[in-house]
Structure 1
Amino acid sequence: MLKPRIPVALEGWPFILLAGFATLLAAILGFRLPTLLLLAVTIFILWFFRDPERVSPPEDDVLVSPADGKVILIERIFDERFVKDHVYKVSIFMNIFNVHVNRFPFPGRVERIVYTPGAFYSADSVRGALKNESCGVVADAGNGRKLAVVQVAGLIARRIVCWAETGDQLGRGQRFGLIRFGSRVDLYLPLATQLEVKVGHKVKAGESVLGYLA
């Protein structure tokens, strides 16, 4: 039996408690308008860090979205940083209204974590894709298949959280991290992947089918 859990990401509680304390203090001091404004901020932060349960499709070869948001890029490239091969790169942009907990797209063993410090340009820009802070999880998906899931910081996002460690065996739809207040996740997939999404499609982490690994 699964244990019930509070549907809020643990990393969000410091922000929630701080905003809640400020709201309580303003209320005690009798500042009505600041109290209302701080209450609205507290509710927004609580909602922002929501972490709902998700059910992934049962098919063995299905590839699910690692993030909530909109597909902003699909292209064929040679990836030099992560899987070092010709791949499909699929980018998903998360706005402030999306759930920001990231989930792993396909069962695999983590081979390495690649953290790259960088700038904080807009995550949906070319400059942001090349120069922003990022954290990539490179995994062996079996049968010679490798994929990478890369969290990319953005203009507002200032904290990438990655719970995965080298050697971990991650399941499809398993939580592996989040990005505080932003921004995008890039997928690097084998060219044999059968993609089922197009630019502009909206997706949900752990549930939406991006395609199938051959």
Structure 2
Amino acid sequence: MTIHKEGRILLLVSLLFLIILNGILFNFFAAPWTWIVLVISVVFYLLILQFFRNPYRLLTKADLQVIAPADGKVVVIEEVIETEYFNTPRRQVSIFMSPINVHINRTPIEGMVQYFKYHAGKYLVAWHPKASTENERTTLVIKSNSGTEILLRQIAGALAKRIRWYIAEGQLVSQGQEFGFIKFGSRVDLFLPLDAKILVNLGDKTKGGVTVIAELTK
């Protein structure tokens, strides 16, 4: 396991701040509560450290399979009208990422980035029905080698107010490739063709780059 690049500066700054803070407290205040502050500081730092962890993964690779773009829990499986790009019915699968999940986002299929757009927006809780269309978010469409298009949306939540991405339109991507990061918990939506066979159920836990979400017909 390594530490993701998005957290390295924050972790260094946090460590220096906590060392200085506790050094001042122990040097100028001889009180039992300074030990409480030290314990809280250690717990706080460990929580941030685990948030930015980047565990080794043996990625799933299969042409007709859609792989989970994120770690988390499946909270939505339903047919909707996708209004930003397709304007047609699609099968939506949403994964909620809690603060304890790995927050790296991965491409679900191999192909070319056909469309990418960042949207500024609100910070409703990630499970809010309007979060997918009103929150800060990115929209990414990947066209597979066989011509099937998959739309993927990173959505910020009430705590997650920093979405990062590392892709652009026209870029070729491999399945399971890291394409972004959402800081401090949120949600990722997949919009699949109606004939895709969904292989997960509500409440299932997913691993980004590993769990098979659906199978495509082509």
Is this a same-fold pair by TM over 0.5? yes
Q: Deviations over 1:142-170 (max 9, x none)?
A: 33311111000001000001111111111
CA–CA distance in structure 2, aligned partners of residues 201 and 149 of structure 1? 19
Aligned to 2:157: 154
Q: Map 1:87-102 onto structure 2 (within 5 A).
A: 87-102=90-105
Shift of residue 11 of structure 1?
0.9
The letter of the residue matching 2:17 is A
Shift of residue 12 of structure 1?
0.9
Q: Which runs of 5+ in 1 are unaligned?
A: 1-5
Q: Deviations over 1:39-60 (max 9, x none)?
A: 2211111110111121222332
CA–CA distance in structure 2, aligned partners of residues 58 and 148 of structure 1? 19
Moved more, 109-118 or 149-158: 109-118
CA RMSD across the alignment: 1.5
Cα contact 2:61–2:175 (8 A) shared by 1? no
CA–CA distance in structure 1, aligned partners of residues 133 and 86 of structure 2? 16
Answering whether residue 78 of structure 2 is matched by residue 78 of structure 1, we say no
The letter of the residue matching 2:190 is L
Cα contact 2:71–2:103 (8 A) shared by 1? yes
Of residues 45, 48, 51, the one that matches 1:45 is 48
CA–CA distance in structure 1, aligned partners of residues 158 and 56 of structure 2? 28
Q: Number of residues paired by the alignment? A: 209
Moved more, 162-171 or 92-101: 162-171
CA–CA distance in structure 1, aligned partners of residues 180 and 62 of structure 2? 24
Cα contact 1:122–1:155 (8 A) shared by 2? yes
Shift of residue 112 of structure 1?
1.9
The letter of the residue matching 2:122 is A
Aligned to 1:24: 19
The letter of the residue matching 2:6 is E
Structure 2 SS opposite 1:126: coil
Shift of residue 79 of structure 1?
1.1
What TM-score does the superposition give when structure 2 sets the normalisation length? 0.90
CA–CA distance in structure 2, aligned partners of residues 139 and 36 of structure 1? 46
CA–CA distance in structure 2, aligned partners of residues 47 and 176 of structure 1? 20
CA–CA distance in structure 1, aligned partners of residues 182 and 20 of structure 2? 29
Structure 1 SS opposite 2:53: coil
The letter of the residue matching 2:103 is H
The letter of the residue matching 2:166 is W
Q: Map 1:64-213 onto structure 2 (within 5 A).
A: 64-213=67-216
| % same residue | 33
Aligned to 1:3: none
Answering whether residue 4 of structure 2 is matched by residue 9 of structure 1, we say yes
Q: Which runs of 5+ in 2 are unaligned?
A: 27-33
Cα contact 2:101–2:185 (8 A) shared by 1? no
Would you identify which runs of 4 or more consecutive aligned residues in structure 1 move more than 2 Å? Answer: 31-36, 56-60, 82-86, 127-130
Cα contact 1:83–1:188 (8 A) shared by 2? no
CA–CA distance in structure 2, aligned partners of residues 208 and 23 of structure 1? 38
CA–CA distance in structure 2, aligned partners of residues 60 and 130 of structure 1? 30
Larger-Rg structure? 2
Shift of residue 127 of structure 1?
3.0
CA–CA distance in structure 1, aligned partners of residues 127 and 65 of structure 2? 26
